Amino acid sequence: MLMMFYFMFFCGLWSFSSKRKHLLVTLLSLEFIVLILFIMLYCYVVMVYSELYLTMFFMSFAVCEGALGLSILVAMIRTHGNDYFTSFGLLQC
């Protein structure tokens, strides 16, 4: 079962690191990685510590990361009109 989680994690890393055209696809693959990490952390904490405070902190940081990513996506769509990486310069202020 642990090998399945590792496989899913590396599939998420592969989809995150491959060149994508849209920011939304990149954010979705990043959220997939965070979800798999949460499942792995939850399984480990339940087996070893039986305290779930660490998972609450992890989920609060994951929610903040997701909200930040969506706010950047909305700001980019408002300024550039789409979420293509090729329509804007990353070094441009």
pLDDT band at 88; cut points 50, 70, 90: low
The answer on pLDDT for 1 being more than 90 is: no
Residue carrying structure tokens 């090998």: 3
Burial of 47 (0-12, 13-18, 19+ CB in 10 A): exposed
Contact yes or no for 37/9 (Cβ under 8 A) = yes
Residue scoring higher pLDDT (88 or 72): 72
Angle (CA) 67 27 59, round 5°: 50
Note the pLDDT tens digit of each residue in 8-36: 999 989 988 887 788 888 889 999 999 99
Ordered structural domains, the chain, with CATH: 8-84 (1.10.287.3510)
Looking at residue 92, its pLDDT comes to 56
Q: Give the whole-angstrom CA distance, residue 38 versus residue 77.
A: 30
For residue 20, which of 72, 69, 85, 65 has the smallest C-alpha distance?
85
Note the pLDDT tens digit of each residue in 30-82: 999 999 999 999 998 888 887 888 889 999 999 999 999 899 888 888 887 87
- Beta-carbon neighbour count of residue 83 at 10 Å? 19
